[in-house]
Structure 1
Amino acid sequence: MKNLLLPALLALLVSAQSASAQTSPPAPAAPDTLRSQLVRGTVRDKATGQPLPGVTVLVKGTTNGISTDAKGAYALTVPLAAQATLVFSSIGYVTREHAVGRARVLDVVLTADARQLSEVVVTGITIRGVSSVSGSVSNVLAGKVAGVMISDKSRRSSHASPRLSHPAREEAGAGDTYATIKENAFFEVKKAPLSTFALDVDNASYTNVRRFLNEGQLPPRDAVRVEEMLNYFRYEYAAPPAESPDPVRISTELAVCPWNTAHQLVRIGVQAKKIETAKLPPANLVFLVDVSGSMYGPDRLPLVQAGLKLLVKQLRPQDRVALVVYAGAAGLVLPPTPGSQPEVILDAIDRLQAGGSTAGGAGLRLAYATAKQHFNKDGNNRVILATDGDFNVGESSDRAMEQLIVDQRESGVFLTVLGCGRGNLRDSRMEALADKGNGNYAYLDNLDEAARVLVAQFGGTLFTVAKDVKLQIEFNPARVANYRLVGYENRMLEAEDFNNDRKDAGELGAGHTVTALYEIVPVGSSQPLVDKLKYQAASAAPTAGQPATAEVMTVKLRYKQPHGLSSKLLTQSITGAPAAIASASPDFRFAAAVAQFGMLLRQSEQRGTATWASTEALANGARGTDADGYRAELVRLVRLAEGLSGSKAVGKR
């Protein structure tokens, strides 16, 4: 297989080098405005008037289509023909057709179809091949880019593995692999007063869950990581003061727990400083793209290519990009090229094709070697790996791949992992690689998500402001009897790891926010986890007024500068009485709703009185301004999940 692929890699290299030598790239062909027109519009829920993201808008009788963005908006090039018709469809809504005629703006409302949701039976995954999808991301790019065409130009070679369809399976998500999650239990403060964990800004789990729900399936339990669902959303936390030397700031809030009113809920928020794109340090980026047979299909390589094109449009002249590919062998398709030559970079991305086995280890080694060869000590040096994680040649075990990443991160080259595809998604492997590589992991379920990760969050995704960030919480036994951390199961640390600067932890990018929730059982709760002991000496009861004035807990945070070796300590205490959930901030209530949603999807034993209805109401009442529409989208996903849950007892209204 290697021998078959090497000529193709060499051809790519020669073509890319020839393109880089051109002083004036050919002008793009003018669009045929006489035979087509751009139609824009917004799709809304008829009952609520709220915009509907994720609605499929398709030119009837063709494969030309798009999904509405976070604001329910779409923009699609439509043939200028009298019979042209757009079909609007979404799970849980009645499909609607609308003739286009010569309309330039076409707003549509969809009616909910409760019967459709209640009758859905999950039998498996079917991937439908799409040859061309035109997607508007103008809402994310603020008008800089009107749209992007994903054209599946890839052709299977004689040794490619087609992935266009999968047979129906008995279990949703069959073929994908996820790390087993054992949910955090309650700890007794008197026996375990410290809770320590590494921060995690990954949010791949949320987009993967969204993909399952939009395709009419409940996600596998282990695909649901509550902390990644929490951290998908932005919250209005106080930013570090401009004059502060610290790139992060802690904020806290205490209120009654909505799924168990006898308990309390603590929100810990961490805000990283924001940096304007123009002021970010120069970037030395290496795109490492999996072009193996498993990447064949419109939701894999073509989607990755479209996402990387969006990123290229954000590059500045001082930034440099190289392109490495791997399949049966690894090759350098594009040497480091300045951002002032976007045509050369885009041409190299366009030439990628899927086919062959997957030499992931060889590709990683070549990508790191390329990044180190052009290392910028004053800049951001990063490998961006785009793959479905299906490594099957070379280093094939998770441990071997992780060790390769650990050995390389000490050089100062960080790793970002972009996951894609379904049916053979190696989620656990990609998450581990990103964690070990001082980077973050995102799952691309559509083009809008690629734009969100690589454009709207350009700084946070690619530029680290603090590394090895970890939290340690000390609880006051006078106020807290028991506690549990909601999520972060695979980020837990030992207490002594907090002061150990050699212990790897999480990274924060520019503008990132991180949210953690603790459910606590207060001293004197009407629903204690364990009854008072009859034969043991009881500790002194808190004095009058102490519960409202004594500290509940102290939050300690350690971080290092991106190229630093020693950590710095920040602390903040939490005092006061818990607020009623109705009086808590919108951010607090929305985060609590997201946590409830995750627990319901996981069928958590800790979900208490949470239901789909209460979760929807809590989230809907805490949407706030919701400028990007993502909070409204979560409300829609809760409704989808309720319908898909069918007769299951979990979360029934």
Structure 2
Amino acid sequence: MKHIFDSHRPDTRYFNSNNNASRYSIASDRPKSYWMRSLLLLLITSFLIQAVPLSAQSFTPIKSSILQGKVTDSEGTPLAGVHISTAPVHSDAYSDYNGRFRLTINGFTKHLLLVTPGFQPECVTIKKAKFPLIIQLQKAPKRARDSGNNLFAQLEKIPGISVMSGNQANFPAGQIMIRGVSGQNVAALRAKMPSVYFTPRNNTESYAHIKENGFKAAAISPLSTFSIDVDKASYSNVRRFINEGHLPPANAVRIEELINYFDYHYKQPTGKDPVNIQTELGTAPWNPRHYLLHIGLQAKKVGTDELPPSNLVFLIDVSGSMAAANKLPLLITSFKMLTDQLREQDYVSIVTYAGNAENVLAPTSGADKKTIKKALDQLSAYGSTNGAGGLEKAYAMAEQHYRKEGNNRIILASDGDFNVGASSLEDLEKLIASKRKSGIFLSVLGFGMGNLKDDKMETLADKGNGNYAYIDNSSEARRVLLKEFGGTLFTVAKDVKVQVEFNPAVVQAYRLVGYENRALNDADFNQDTVDAGEMGSGSKVTALYEIIPQGLKDHFSPNVDTLRYVFDRLSKKEAFRGELARIKIRYKRPDGKKSNPISQIVADKRLPGMKTSVDFQLAAAAAGWGMLLKNSQYVQDMTYSKVAELIKKTLESDRSGQVGGFLNLVETSEALAGNEIENTGNLPCSPILIHPRRVPGPAPRPIPRPGPIPQRDTVSTFRILPVSRSVPLAKALQGKMTCVSPIKNK
């Protein structure tokens, strides 16, 4: 019989029958090594046949299961807002008000990583777990920097300089970050510490100036009109600042976007209108003498099968500045997530721009996900930035494959360094507005840091009837492009405007919290030619009004004279005495040109603080946090502790982990107070990076840099922050932290 391993037959030219010491045996035509390999192959085959049943010869995913547990401190007190993640990364969650958590694990999950401010990070091994699962965290000890003999302490001895983050022991990140640096301070640093390099990082991020809304007298200006806003970019951008170890500039904080980040429990519309109005009146947590009016709008949720077909154009910035891991690689991952949501009737094109704009992928069906993902994987960062050329080519592609009854949309993804090239920003805005009228909308996704042009990106999205989101990590990408897929891309109501008419007999003064850049003239409400915001399938919009009731003496009340000539509609005072306000909204159908009105009366019935809903408390907490971050003059008695208490009341109903993450950010914000970035049009120089020299030696010459270190108008000092203050520490620990401590159980 011909053996299957004929390739191993010995060549007879190498046999010598007269030599008993021949390499091969005379009794066989096979070498010994051949038989050893054959025997080993038989043993392996036998093992595999027994281990793998015939029914499982195809690859099947490992089944997932739910792991539940509880987190406490060393004394058994439940800890809320603890970030729990699995390693390898699969899922994450936050503990609720009772310290409980639940997350998904599978066969690959080895460890749990637990991080929260003020406590030591804990790494536990799942195989050693005993149930019920109770994990105790130990309070973080005082930092070694207190001894005054290490690099941290030496840095803080220099006036005007303080360490922000890093590790004084072994520099695992290769750097220490400091702030409060001027040219004079850098010279002092070099003289003090010749064993380190000093590398400044320029920061060219820009944000639109926001003048906070003030109180208006209801007797003089009873109408308040604004366009709705479903953008949430500010929340994730603020989170990025805090996770880096410093508070955001005031202009980066748009309070309405902090409020709208969360998933509130509004009722679905039941009538012919695609939008439902919901209101609640309670007490302002920052001033118990003031009212707080909560207004919620809920758009109709449309099933995926009922959504119109899409003609999407991915417009991707592949310029050289996109090379960082949190830019183009994260962008590609995000668009792959979106690709997984596409149906057969949806089509995707890809246009890229660097020095030139290119068509990378012709319209491809969502059923051919492999081709779309392959085109994304081939992208690389290089060259300069010609955003104008890319935008024009993307619109040409969208027009060429326009779907009359479909969703035609360009999704621009960039790090924000949007070079408009030969065209001015005004010309681009006109182009986007004209294409909007033809039914092609523009949404914008921001990535990265250091050169984010937040003001420009938000403006482009507003002009294009789209949304603006900032993607700071893969979890945010999953939330924007998977969980809120319909609300992000499929419009059910466009040009949605809100107008609130306050009753002067009940309301002395009022203030809209946020929405400063969405304000409209009162006459714009009934003008159908005036552009406003869009609501997608299942999306929500929340607005808060702070109200000073009639008869209350308050220094915030506008000091204006009573009007002599006014049409007195309040002659029927008793008829309106029970009404606080009337809310009106106008919207258009996605393909409509005429607006439709909806209105609702708000009764003058204030709920006591303990009886307000979870939605009311969560929105109030987000507003209070935003005012603290902005150093608002209207913050009054609000503190970070009060914000945290409001959040903890809502943790029990949190199923997504959003609220737990929010609590973590608030507690970290409190620790960072005093580290604010100066509020200028363009941010000042970013923190200087101090790189330790591996080999001691004489003082090195400064690393060449493009220009002098930017001078700061004022010198601020900041205190050292524990590394555990930053939420992303859990990801940093993966691969760096050895799990040696078993899960602690009671």
Asked if residue 643 in structure 1 is aligned to residue 671 in structure 2, the reply is: yes
State the alpha-carbon separation in 2 of the partners of residues 189 and 247 from structure 1. Answer: 30
State the alpha-carbon separation in 2 of the partners of residues 572 and 97 from structure 1. Answer: 53
Query: CA 1:526/1:546 → structure 2, altered by over 3 Å: closer, same or farther?
Result: farther
State the alpha-carbon separation in 2 of the partners of residues 348 and 245 from structure 1. Answer: 42
1:232 to 239, 251, 261: 261
Query: CA 1:620/1:92 → structure 2, altered by over 3 Å: closer, same or farther?
Result: same
Partner of 1:68: 92
Partner of 2:26: none
Q: Shift in Å at residue 402 of structure 1? A: 2.0
Partner of 1:155: none
Mean Cα deviation higher: 612-621 or 401-410: 401-410
Contact 1:248-1:270 at 8 Å conserved across structures? yes
Q: Shift in Å at residue 448 of structure 1? A: 1.0
Q: TM-score, normalised by structure 2?
A: 0.69
Partner of 2:294: 267
State the alpha-carbon separation in 1 of the partners of residues 239 and 550 from structure 2. Answer: 39
Partner of 1:440: 467
Query: CA 1:289/1:413 → structure 2, altered by over 3 Å: closer, same or farther?
Result: same
Asked if residue 633 in structure 1 is aligned to residue 661 in structure 2, the reply is: yes
Which runs of structure 2 are paired with 1:4-23 in the superposition (5 Å)? Answer: none
Contact 1:238-1:271 at 8 Å conserved across structures? yes
Contact 1:262-1:527 at 8 Å conserved across structures? no
Listed as ranges, the gaps of 5+ residues in structure 2 are 1-57, 96-100, 147-151, 168-173, 182-200, 677-746
Contact 1:43-1:110 at 8 Å conserved across structures? no
Partner of 1:132: none
Q: Shift in Å at residue 432 of structure 1? A: 0.8
Query: CA 1:56/1:240 → structure 2, altered by over 3 Å: closer, same or farther?
Result: closer
Contact 1:188-1:482 at 8 Å conserved across structures? yes
2:213 to 174, 177, 184: 184
Q: Shift in Å at residue 97 of structure 1? A: 4.3
Partner of 1:374: 401
Asked if residue 458 in structure 1 is aligned to residue 485 in structure 2, the reply is: yes
SS of 1:347's partner is: helix
Q: Shift in Å at residue 46 of structure 1? A: 3.1
Q: Shift in Å at residue 68 of structure 1? A: 3.2
Q: State, as a whole percentage, how many aligned pairs show the same letter.
A: 44
State the alpha-carbon separation in 2 of the partners of residues 335 and 606 from structure 1. Answer: 52
Q: Shift in Å at residue 296 of structure 1? A: 1.1
Partner of 1:5: none
Which runs of structure 2 are paired with 1:271-282 in the superposition (5 Å)? Answer: 271-282=298-309
Q: Shift in Å at residue 236 of structure 1? A: 1.3
Partner of 1:561: 589
State the alpha-carbon separation in 1 of the partners of residues 314 and 561 from structure 2. Answer: 64
Query: CA 1:530/1:231 → structure 2, altered by over 3 Å: closer, same or farther?
Result: closer
Partner of 1:391: 418
Kindly tell me the number of residue pairs found equivalent between the two proteins: 570
2:539 to 496, 500, 512: 512
The CA deviation string for residues 135-174 of structure 1, in whole angstroms up to 9 with x for no partner, is xxxxxxxxxxxxxxxxxxxxxxxxxxxxx99986548994
State the alpha-carbon separation in 2 of the partners of residues 406 and 532 from structure 1. Answer: 41
Q: Shift in Å at residue 90 of structure 1? A: 5.7
Higher RCO (Cα < 8 Å, 6 or more apart): 2
Asked if residue 95 in structure 1 is aligned to residue 124 in structure 2, the reply is: no
Partner of 1:340: 367
SS of 1:614's partner is: helix
> Aligned AA for 1:193?
P
Q: TM-score, normalised by structure 1?
A: 0.78
> Aligned AA for 2:593?
L
Mean Cα deviation higher: 380-389 or 206-215: 206-215
Partner of 2:708: none
Contact 1:42-1:51 at 8 Å conserved across structures? no
Asked if residue 202 in structure 1 is aligned to residue 262 in structure 2, the reply is: no
SS of 1:470's partner is: strand
Listed as ranges, the gaps of 5+ residues in structure 1 are 1-29, 59-63, 129-163, 649-653
State the alpha-carbon separation in 2 of the partners of residues 32 and 372 from structure 1. Answer: 42
Query: CA 1:294/1:39 → structure 2, altered by over 3 Å: closer, same or farther?
Result: farther
Asked if residue 312 in structure 1 is aligned to residue 339 in structure 2, the reply is: yes
Query: CA 1:435/1:533 → structure 2, altered by over 3 Å: closer, same or farther?
Result: closer
SS of 2:237's partner is: helix
SS of 1:46's partner is: strand
Contact 1:593-1:618 at 8 Å conserved across structures? yes
Q: Shift in Å at residue 177 of structure 1? A: 1.1
The CA deviation string for residues 599-653 of structure 1, in whole angstroms up to 9 with x for no partner, is 11111110111111111111211335211121122122111111111699xxxxx
> Aligned AA for 1:525?
L
Mean Cα deviation higher: 173-182 or 257-266: 173-182
State the alpha-carbon separation in 1 of the partners of residues 554 and 336 from structure 2. Answer: 55
Partner of 1:25: none
Asked if residue 601 in structure 1 is aligned to residue 611 in structure 2, the reply is: no
Partner of 1:416: 443
Mean Cα deviation higher: 87-96 or 106-115: 106-115
State the alpha-carbon separation in 2 of the partners of residues 533 and 328 from structure 1. Answer: 57
State the alpha-carbon separation in 2 of the partners of residues 332 and 124 from structure 1. Answer: 47
State the alpha-carbon separation in 1 of the partners of residues 400 and 94 from structure 2. Answer: 40
State the alpha-carbon separation in 1 of the partners of residues 534 and 438 from structure 2. Answer: 16
Asked if residue 495 in structure 1 is aligned to residue 522 in structure 2, the reply is: yes
Q: Shift in Å at residue 278 of structure 1? A: 1.7
Contact 2:112-2:125 at 8 Å conserved across structures? yes
State the alpha-carbon separation in 2 of the partners of residues 349 and 215 from structure 1. Answer: 29
> Aligned AA for 1:382?
R
Q: Shift in Å at residue 175 of structure 1? A: 2.9
> Aligned AA for 1:270?
L
> Aligned AA for 1:182?
K
Partner of 1:290: 317
